[in-house]
């Protein structure tokens, strides 16, 4: 991904500086998850909007999801194909690297396990690269992507996910910092070697576990 098409270079530079300085790190840990709120986080009841200065306007009629790479069955889903999949619902907490967390988010969509069952990753597949309509990318280990609370979400708290929050479809990978849950999902690339994405190449941690404060690499 390049810094083109109206990305806020200043915002990116500031967050890169945070990564270099280790900003927001508390030095504490909660390895046993004794508390529901990970170290260094604050609880919010709203849903803050964070992006790179671009909010693609993709209608359901226009939306397409490509799944390719190291898979037996490459596929392209339109909205009807997505909605023809088994419905998956889940409730999870989300944690942003900018120190806010929101509890009890109700999601509806298609589970990543269902997607993987259809696409069938090849034996050598190790990672998933998520691509957004805004050009954003992020990398996720295949086993993390396949956890039983992960999904391609089209609804949040009983309503369609809004454009500002990544609709019509975004990834939700709740056990990891929210930058891993790519908005405006366009492509899921299954790969046999890791490829760090937009923030991972700008100083953020490659995995992003909130409970051990893996904010920066």
Q: Residue 16 burial by CB count (10 A; 0-12/13-18/19+): exposed, middle or buried? A: middle
Local structure of 138: helix, strand or coil: strand
CA distance 190 to 109: 20
User: Which of 188, 78, 181, 216 shows the shortest CA–CA distance to 125?
Assistant: 188
Phi first, then psi: give them for residue 53, nearest 5 degrees: 95, 0
Q: Locate the domains of the chain by residue range.
A: 9-212
Q: How far apart are CA 14 and CA 17, in angstroms?
A: 5
pLDDT at 94: 98
Please give the Cα distance from 172 to 186 (Å, whole number): 14
- What's the confidence (pLDDT) of residue 9? 60
Q: What is the largest CA-CA distance in the chain?
A: 47
* Annotation: CATH topology of 9-212: Sulfite Oxidase; Chain A, domain 2 (3.90.420)
pLDDT under 70 in the chain at which residues?
A: 1-34
Closest by CA to 139, choosing from 204, 90, 75, is 204
Would you state the torsion angle of the CA atoms of residues 26, 29, 34, 39, taken in this order, to the nearest 10 degrees? 30
Token pair listed for 55? 């909010």
Token pair for 188: 């899921």
Read off the pLDDT of residues 49-92 as tens digits, 9 standing for 90 and up: 987 788 999 999 999 999 999 999 999 999 999 999 999 999 99
Q: What is the pLDDT of residue 1?
A: 43
Of 70, 2, 49, 28, give the one whose Cα is nearest residue 166: 49
Instruction: Give residue for tokens 């899921």.
Output: 188
- For 65, list phi and psi in degrees, rounded to 5: -120, 120
Rounded to two decimals, the pTM is 0.85
Q: What is the pLDDT of residue 52?
A: 78
């Amino acid at each position: 991904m390049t810094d083109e098409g109206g990305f806020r270079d200043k915002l990116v530079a500031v967050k890169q500086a945070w990564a270099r300085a280790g900003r927001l790190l508390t030095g504490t840990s909660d390895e046993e998850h004794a508390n529901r709120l990970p170290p260094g986080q604050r609880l919010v009841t709203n849903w803050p909007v964070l992006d790179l200065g671009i909010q693609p306007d993709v209608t359901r009629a226009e939306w397409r999801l490509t799944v390719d790479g190291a898979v037996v069955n490459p596929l392209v889903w339109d909205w009807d194909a997505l909605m023809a999949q088994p419905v998956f619902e889940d409730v999870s907490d989300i944690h942003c690297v900018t120190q806010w967390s929101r509890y009890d988010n109700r999601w509806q969509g298609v589970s990543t396990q269902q997607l993987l069952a259809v696409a069938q990753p090849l034996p050598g597949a190790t990672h998933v690269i998520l691509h957004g309509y805004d050009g954003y990318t992020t990398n996720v280990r295949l086993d993390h992507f396949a956890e039983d609370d992960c999904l391609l979400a089209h609804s949040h708290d009983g309503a369609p996910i809004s454009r500002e929050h990544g609709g019509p479809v975004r990834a939700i990978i709740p056990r990891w910092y929210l930058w891993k849950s790519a908005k405006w999902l366009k492509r899921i690339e299954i790969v046999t070697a890791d490829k760090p994405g937009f923030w991972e190449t700008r100083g953020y941690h490659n995995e992003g576990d909130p409970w051990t404060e893996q904010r920066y690499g």
